[in-house]
Amino acid sequence: MDTPPVPERQLYRITEAMRLLSMSRSVIYEQLRAGRLRSVKQGRARLIPAQTISDYVQLLIDESEGINDQAA
């Protein structure tokens, strides 16, 4: 079953962040607990800001480049 595309916005629900980052729910929550991914609460909903997702992707890129630099 195809999932609908995630619309661009400022805040994403956990399920949308899972699709954007291609990660499971447990990995998303693990990254939240570790402080590598930030979230906000609005009522009972936990939301992840779009900028936080971009920052997290950049963190992964930076870490990957650091590993590649060390191997060379």
Report the CATH number that the domain containing residue 28 is assigned in CATH.
Answer: 1.10.1660
6 in a structural domain: no
Q: Is residue 3 part of a domain?
A: no
Residue 25 lies in a domain: yes
Q: What is the pTM of this model?
A: 0.78
Average confidence (pLDDT) over 45-55 = 97
Could you tell me if residue 47 is inside a domain?
yes
Which is more confidently placed, 45 or 72?
45
CA contacts within 13 A on the Cβ side of 20: 21
1 belongs to a structural domain: no
Residue 5 located in a structural domain: no
| Averaged pLDDT for residues 27-35 | 97
* pLDDT of amino acid 71: 55
Q: At what angle do helices 50-71 and 14-21 cross, to 10 degrees?
A: 30
Three-class secondary structure of residue 47 per DSSP:
strand
Q: How many domains does the chain have?
A: 1
Q: How confident is the model at residue 2 (pLDDT cuts 50, 70, 90)?
A: confident
Q: Which of 5-9, 43-47, 62-66 has the lowest mean pLDDT?
A: 5-9
**Other residues' Cβ atoms within 10 Å of the Cβ of residue 52:** 19
Task: Identify the sign of the CA torsion 46, 8, 49, 23.
Answer: positive
Domain range for 32 is 11-71
